[in-house]
Structure 1
Amino acid sequence: MQTNTPSYGSSTVNPRTELSAKEDLPATAPGQLRVIKRNGAVVNYDESKIVVAITKAYLAEEGGTAAASARVRETVAKQAAQISTIFKRRMPSGGSIHIEEIQDQVELALMRTGEHKVARAYVLYRAEHTRLREQQRSQEQPSESTIQVTYPDGTQAPLDTQRLQTVIDEACAGLEGVSAGAIYQETLKNLYPGVKLEDVRTSAVMTARTMVEQDPNYTYVTARLLLDTLRSEALTFLGVTDSATQSEMNYRYPSVLKPYIEKGVELGLLSPHLLEYDLEVLGEALKAERDTQFTYLGLQTLYDRYFIHSNGVRFELPQIFYMRVAMGLASNEEDREARAIEFYNLISSFDYMVSTPQLFNSGTLRPQLSSCFLTTVPDDLHGIYSAIKDNAMLSKWAGGLGNDWTPVRALGAHIQGTNGQSQGIVPFLKVVNDTAVAVNQGGKRKGAVCAYLETWHLDIEEFLELRKNTGDDRRRTHDMNTANWIPDLFMKRVFEDGEWTLFSPNNVPDLHDLHGLAFERAYEEYERRAAAGEIEVYKTVRAKDLWRKMLSMLFETGHPWVTFKDSCNVRSPQQHVGTIHSSNLCTEITLNTNAEEIAVCNLGSVNLVNHVTDTGLDQVKLEKTIKTAVRMLDNVIDINYYSVPQAKNSNLKHRPVGMGVMGFQDALYIQRIPYGSDHAVKFADESMEVISYHAIQASTDLAEERGTYESYKGSLWDQGILPIDSLKMLQETRGEKYLEADFTTTQDWDALRQRIASTGMRNSNVLAIAPTATIANITGVSQSIEPTYQNLYVKSNLSGEFTVVNPYLIRDLKAMNLWDPVMVNDLKYYDGSVQQIDRIPQELKDLYATAFEVEPRWLVDAAARRQKWIDQAQSLNLYIAGANGKKLDITYRMAWLRGLKTTYYLRSLAATSTEKSTVSGSKLNAVSSTPEPAAVPQACSIDDPDCEACQ
Structure 2
Amino acid sequence: MAPIPEGLAPCNWTPDAIKLVNERFLRRDREGNIIETREEMCWRVAYYIASAGKKYSRSEEDIIDTAKNFYTLFAERKFFPNAPTLYNAGTGNGLQFSACFVLPIYDSMNGIYEALKNQAIIHKSGGGTGFSFSKLRPKGALVGSTRGMSSGPVSFLKVFNTSTEFVKQGGMRRGANMAIMNVHHPDILEFIACKSQLTDKNITTFERTKPYIYSRRGLDQLRISLLETQIANFNISVAATDVFMKAVKEDAEYDLIDPKDGQVVKHLEARKVFDLIVKMAWETGDPGLWFIDKTNRSPANPLQGLMTIEATNPCGEQPLFDFDVCNLGSINLVKFVVREGDKYVINWEELEKAVRLAVIFLDNVIEMNPYPLPQIMELAHKIRRIGLGIMGFADMLAFLGVPYASEETCRVAEEIQGFINKIGHNESEKLAEARGAFPLWDQSIYKDQKPIRNCTITTIAPTGEIRILAGCSGGIEPYYGLTERHQFEDRILYRIQPGFDRLMEIARERGFYSPMFEEEVKNSGHVGDLNIPDDVKRVFVTTHEIPYRWHVKIQAAFQRHTDNGVSKTINLSNSATVADIEKVYWQAYESSCLGITVFRDGCKGGVLSVGISGKQKAKESRDFIRSRPDLVLGPTIRVETPDGAAFVTINFDPDIGPNEPFEVFINVAKAGTDAAADAEAIGRLASSFLRLESPKSSIERLIQLKDQLKGIGGSRVAGFGKGKITSLADGISKAIEIYLKRFGFIDDDNIKPKAAKEKDKNDAEPVLSKGNRCPKCKQSALVYEEGCVRCVNCGYNVC
Q: TM-score, normalised by structure 1?
A: 0.58
Say whether 1:861 aligns with 2:561: no
Could you list the per-position Cα deviations for residues 467-495 of structure 1 after superposition, in whole angstroms to 9, with x for gaps in the alignment?
Answer: 22624358942332211111111111111
Q: Summarize the alignment of residues 384-423 of structure 1 with structure 2, pairs less than 5 Å apart.
A: 384-423=112-151
Residue of structure 1 aligned with 2:334, choices 609, 618, 642: 609
Q: Matched residues in 2 for 1:816 and 1:545: separation?
A: 54
Say whether 1:481 aligns with 2:235: yes
Q: Summarize the alignment of residues 693-708 of structure 1 with structure 2, pairs less than 5 Å apart.
A: 693-708=422-437
Q: Matched residues in 1 for 2:232 and 2:444: separation?
A: 40
Residue of structure 1 aligned with 2:84, choices 332, 336, 357: 357
Retained in 2: the 8 A contact 1:803–1:924? yes
Say whether 1:429 aligns with 2:170: no
Whichever of the two has the greater Rg, that structure is 2
Letter in 2 for 1:301: L
Retained in 1: the 8 A contact 2:483–2:612? no
- Whichever structure has more helix as a proportion of its residues is 1
Q: Secondary structure at the match of 1:412?
A: coil
Q: Name the residue aligned to 1:773.
A: 464
Offset of 1:420 from its aligned partner? 3.3
Retained in 2: the 8 A contact 1:410–1:424? yes
Retained in 2: the 8 A contact 1:795–1:929? no
Residue of structure 1 aligned with 2:385, choices 653, 656, 667: 656
Offset of 1:914 from its aligned partner? 11
Could you list the per-position Cα deviations for residues 773-827 of structure 1 after superposition, in whole angstroms to 9, with x for gaps in the alignment?
Answer: 1111111110000100012442223642415362222222233343435435654
- Whichever structure has more strand as a proportion of its residues is 2
Q: Name the residue aligned to 2:251.
A: 497
Q: Matched residues in 2 for 1:624 and 1:774: separation?
A: 24
Q: Secondary structure at the match of 1:602?
A: strand
Q: Secondary structure at the match of 2:45?
A: helix
Could you list the per-position Cα deviations for residues 531-553 of structure 1 after superposition, in whole angstroms to 9, with x for gaps in the alignment?
Answer: xxxxxxx3322111111111111
Say whether 1:284 aligns with 2:6: yes
Letter in 1 for 2:238: N
Could you list the per-position Cα deviations for residues 12-71 of structure 1 after superposition, in whole angstroms to 9, with x for gaps in the alignment?
Answer: xxxxxxxxxxxxxxxxxxxxxxxxxxxxxxxxxxxxxxxxxxxxxxxxxxxxxxxxxxxx
Q: Matched residues in 2 for 1:926 and 1:374: separation?
A: 37
Offset of 1:926 from its aligned partner? 6.8
Q: Summarize the alignment of residues 835-846 of structure 1 with structure 2, pairs less than 5 Å apart.
A: 835-837=528-530, 839-846=531-538
Could you list the per-position Cα deviations for residues 873-892 of structure 1 after superposition, in whole angstroms to 9, with x for gaps in the alignment?
Answer: 01111111221111100011
Q: Name the residue aligned to 2:596.
A: 903
Q: Secondary structure at the match of 1:411?
A: coil
Residue of structure 1 aligned with 2:40, choices 320, 324, 334: 320
Q: Matched residues in 2 for 1:624 and 1:691: separation?
A: 11
Say whether 1:878 aligns with 2:570: yes
After superposition, the Cα gap between the structure-2 partners of 1:332 and 1:900, relative to the gap in structure 1 and judged at 3 Å, is same
Q: Secondary structure at the match of 1:453?
A: strand
Q: Matched residues in 2 for 1:506 and 1:442: separation?
A: 36
Retained in 2: the 8 A contact 1:876–1:902? no
Q: Name the residue aligned to 2:643.
A: none
Could you list the per-position Cα deviations for residues 717-772 of structure 1 after superposition, in whole angstroms to 9, with x for gaps in the alignment?
Answer: 1134xxxxxxxxxxxxxxxxxxxxxxxxxxxxxxxxxxx2xxx0111111111110
Q: Matched residues in 1 for 2:406 and 2:369: separation?
A: 42
After superposition, the Cα gap between the structure-2 partners of 1:926 and 1:825, relative to the gap in structure 1 and judged at 3 Å, is farther
Could you list the per-position Cα deviations for residues 91-114 of structure 1 after superposition, in whole angstroms to 9, with x for gaps in the alignment?
Answer: xxxxxxxxxxxxxxxxxxxxxxxx
Retained in 2: the 8 A contact 1:562–1:903? yes
After superposition, the Cα gap between the structure-2 partners of 1:473 and 1:579, relative to the gap in structure 1 and judged at 3 Å, is farther
Residue of structure 1 aligned with 2:177, choices 449, 469, 476: 449
Q: Matched residues in 2 for 1:864 and 1:912: separation?
A: 26
Q: Summarize the alignment of residues 143-158 of structure 1 with structure 2, pairs less than 5 Å apart.
A: none
Could you list the per-position Cα deviations for residues 399-455 of structure 1 after superposition, in whole angstroms to 9, with x for gaps in the alignment?
Answer: 110011111111122333333332111221111001111111243122121111111
Retained in 2: the 8 A contact 1:376–1:581? no
Q: TM-score, normalised by structure 2?
A: 0.68
Letter in 2 for 1:791: L
Q: Matched residues in 2 for 1:895 and 1:574: separation?
A: 25
Residue of structure 2 aligned with 1:812, choices 472, 494, 506: 506
Retained in 2: the 8 A contact 1:794–1:928? no
Could you list the per-position Cα deviations for residues 291-334 of structure 1 after superposition, in whole angstroms to 9, with x for gaps in the alignment?
Answer: 33x11111111111111112232122222211111011112212
Q: Secondary structure at the match of 1:457?
A: coil
Q: Matched residues in 2 for 1:817 and 1:793: separation?
A: 26
Q: Name the residue aligned to 1:550.
A: 277
After superposition, the Cα gap between the structure-2 partners of 1:469 and 1:695, relative to the gap in structure 1 and judged at 3 Å, is same
Q: Summarize the alignment of residues 224-303 of structure 1 with structure 2, pairs less than 5 Å apart.
A: 274=1, 277=2, 279=3, 282-288=4-10, 291-292=11-12, 294-303=13-22
Say whether 1:568 aligns with 2:295: yes
Say whether 1:462 aligns with 2:190: yes
Q: Secondary structure at the match of 2:277?
A: helix
Offset of 1:352 from its aligned partner? 1.1
- Number of residue equivalences: 574
Letter in 2 for 1:297: D
Offset of 1:346 from its aligned partner? 1.8
Offset of 1:853 from its aligned partner? 0.6
Q: Matched residues in 1 for 2:261 and 2:147: separation?
A: 16
Residue of structure 1 aligned with 2:583, choices 885, 890, 898: 890
Q: Matched residues in 2 for 1:409 and 1:316: separation?
A: 50
Q: Name the residue aligned to 1:850.
A: 542
Identity %: 30
Residue of structure 2 aligned with 1:338, choices 65, 68, 84: 65
Q: Matched residues in 1 for 2:374 and 2:325: separation?
A: 12
Could you list the per-position Cα deviations for residues 631-675 of structure 1 after superposition, in whole angstroms to 9, with x for gaps in the alignment?
Answer: 110111111112211111111111100110001111111110000
After superposition, the Cα gap between the structure-2 partners of 1:636 and 1:929, relative to the gap in structure 1 and judged at 3 Å, is farther
Letter in 1 for 2:457: V
Q: Matched residues in 2 for 1:912 and 1:480: separation?
A: 14
Q: Secondary structure at the match of 2:312?
A: coil
Retained in 1: the 8 A contact 2:484–2:608? no
Q: Matched residues in 1 for 2:512 and 2:485: separation?
A: 22
Q: CA RMSD in A?
A: 2.7
Q: Summarize the alignment of residues 478-877 of structure 1 with structure 2, pairs less than 5 Å apart.
A: 478-508=232-262, 530=264, 538-571=265-298, 572-593=301-322, 598-613=323-338, 614=343, 616-720=345-449, 756=450, 760-797=451-488, 799-802=491-494, 804=496, 806-820=500-514, 822-823=516-517, 826-827=520-521, 831-837=524-530, 839-877=531-569
Letter in 1 for 2:35: F
After superposition, the Cα gap between the structure-2 partners of 1:824 and 1:857, relative to the gap in structure 1 and judged at 3 Å, is same
